[in-house]
Amino acid sequence: MLRTDSLESAICRELGRIGPCSLEELNERLPYYSWNQVFAAVDRLTREGIVTLQRPDSLDYILSLARPRSPFSPIKTPHKIPA
């Protein structure tokens, strides 16, 4: 079995090279990994904000690399409720 960080790097490399693509297309481009491995890695990358996942229709998901945050972007913090 191949390492998870290698798979995540491969996903980012492919998305950087080809741009947005479907989950199925990405899976086809990574033949050494199972569909479950690719899906789990995409899930982790999405939760970490590295990859964005969109569903333009009910048939498939489109993946793309997330835009890097600007160092000047405000960080959203939860509002405190006065006691």
Q: Which CATH number do you get for residue 33? A: 1.10.10.10
Q: Is residue 23 a part of any domain in this protein?
A: yes
Pair of tokens at residue 62: 């489109």
Single out the residue of 67, 47, 58, 52 nearest to residue 21, CA to CA.
52
Residue 45, domain member (yes or no): yes
Does the residue 17 lie in any domain? yes
pLDDT (0 to 100) of residue 65: 93
Residue 81 domain flag: no
Domain annotation covers residue 72: no
Global pTM value = 0.73
- Whether residue 83 lies inside any domain: the answer is no
Strand partners, 54: 62
Query: What range does the domain containing 60 cover?
Result: 4-65
Give the containing element (helix H, strand E) for 31: none
Domain count for the chain, please give it. 1
CA dihedral (64, 69, 73, 78) in degrees, to 10, reads 70
Is 61 within the bounds of a domain? yes
pLDDT band at 3 (very low <50, low <70, confident <90, very high): low
Q: Does position 83 have pLDDT exceeding 70, yes or no?
A: no
Amino acid at 83: A
pLDDT, tens only, 19-75: 999 999 999 999 999 999 999 999 999 999 999 988 888 778 899 999 865 555 555
**Interatomic CA distance for residues 24 and 63, integer angstroms:** 10
